[in-house]
Structure 1
Amino acid sequence: MLTIVGGGGFRVPLVHQALLAARDRVDVSDVVLLDTDPRRLAVMTDVLAQAGPSGGPRVRATTEPEEALTGADVVFAAVRVGGTAGRTRDERDAMAEGLLGQETVGPGGLAYALRTVPVVDALAEQIAEHAPAAWTITFTNPASIVTEAMRDRLGDRVVGICDTPIALVRNALRALGLDPRGFDTGEVAVDYAGLNHLGWLRGLHCDGTDLLPGLLADDAALAGIEEARLMGADWLRALRAIPNEYVYYYDFAREAVAALAAAPHTRGEYLAEQQETFYAAASARPGEAHALWRAALAEREATYMATERESADAGQRGAEDLGGGYHEVAVDLMAALLGGEEHRMILDVANDAGGGTPVVPGLPTDAVVEVPVLASAAGVRPLPTRTGLDPVMTARLQAVKAAERLTIEAARTESVTTAWRALAAHPLVDSVAVARRLAERALGGR
Structure 2
Amino acid sequence: MKVVIIGGGSSYTPEIIEGLILRQDEFPVDFITLVDIESGKEKLEIVGQLAKRMIEKAGVSIELSWTLDRREALNRADFVSTQIRVGGLKAREKDERIPLSHGLIGQETNGAGGIFKAFRTIPVLLDLAKDVSEICPDAWIINFTNPAGIVTEALLKHGMHKKVIGVCNIPYNMTQSAAEILKEDPNNVRIEFIGMNHFVFGSKVLVNGEDKLSKVIEALVNQSVDFSPANIVSSGWSETFLEAMNMLPNPYHQYYYQKESTLKKDLKAYQDNGTRAEQVQVIEEELFNEYKNPQLDIKPEALEKRGGAYYSDVACSLMSSIYNNSQNIMTVNTLNNGAIVDFAEDAVIEVNCLITKEGPVPLTVGRLPQQIKADILMMKAFEEQVIKTSISGDYRDAYLAFVMNPLIKDEKKAKVILDELLNAHKQYLPQFDL
TM-score, length basis structure 1: 0.86
Q: Check if 1:272 corresponds to 2:281.
A: yes
Q: Which residue of 1 aligns with 2:28?
A: 27
- 1:57 Cα deviation from its structure 2 partner: 1.4
Deviations 1:103-161 (A, max 9, x none): 01111101111111111111111111111110010000000111011113256410000
- 1:173 Cα deviation from its structure 2 partner: 3.2
Q: How does 1:186-335 map to 2 (within 5 A)?
A: 190-206=191-207, 209-217=210-218, 223-226=224-227, 230-263=236-269, 264-279=273-288, 281=289, 285=292, 287-288=294-295, 294=300, 296-298=302-304, 300-301=305-306, 324-335=309-320
Q: Which residue of 2 aligns with 1:138?
A: 143
Q: Which residue of 1 aligns with 2:431?
A: none
Q: Which residue of 2 aligns with 1:314?
A: none
Number of aligned pairs? 411
Q: Which residue of 2 aligns with 1:58?
A: 63
TM-score, length basis structure 2: 0.88
Q: Check if 1:96 corresponds to 2:101.
A: yes
Deviations 1:210-266 (A, max 9, x none): 321343345688623436972244422221011111111111111111111111211
Q: Which residue of 1 aligns with 2:327?
A: 342
Look up the equivalent residue of 2:321 and give its one-letter code: A
Conserved in 2, the CA contact under 8 Å of 1:128 and 1:153?
no
Conserved in 1, the CA contact under 8 Å of 2:353 and 2:360?
yes
CA distance in 2, matches of 1:219, 1:106: 26
Q: Check if 1:3 corresponds to 2:15.
A: no
1:92 and 1:210, CA in 2 relative to 1: closer, same or farther beyond 3 A? same
- Unpaired runs of at least 5, structure 1: 305-322, 353-357
Q: How does 1:34-113 map to 2 (within 5 A)?
A: 34-36=35-37, 37-51=40-54, 52-113=57-118
Deviations 1:176-221 (A, max 9, x none): 23321124xxxx5x42111111111011245664321343345688
- Divergent runs of 4+, >3 A: 205-209, 217-222, 276-279, 288-291
Look up the equivalent residue of 1:126 and give its one-letter code: D
- Unpaired runs of at least 5, structure 2: 229-233, 429-434
Look up the equivalent residue of 1:76 and give its one-letter code: S
Deviations 1:315-360 (A, max 9, x none): xxxxxxxx711211111111111123232111000111xxxxx322
Q: Which residue of 1 aligns with 2:346?
A: 366
Q: Which residue of 1 aligns with 2:412?
A: 433
Q: SS state of the match for residue 112, structure 1?
A: helix
RMSD: 2.3
CA distance in 2, matches of 1:14, 1:438: 35
Deviations 1:253-307 (A, max 9, x none): 111111111112111111123324543x368x5525657x726425x24xx5xxx
Look up the equivalent residue of 2:268 and give its one-letter code: A
CA distance in 1, matches of 2:303, 2:216: 33
- 1:393 Cα deviation from its structure 2 partner: 1.4
Q: SS state of the match for residue 364, structure 1?
A: coil
Percent sequence identity is 28
Look up the equivalent residue of 2:278 and give its one-letter code: E
Conserved in 2, the CA contact under 8 Å of 1:166 and 1:345?
no
Q: Check if 1:379 corresponds to 2:359.
A: yes
Q: Which residue of 1 aligns with 2:432?
A: none
Conserved in 1, the CA contact under 8 Å of 2:287 and 2:303?
no
CA distance in 2, matches of 1:118, 1:384: 32
Conserved in 2, the CA contact under 8 Å of 1:114 and 1:442?
no
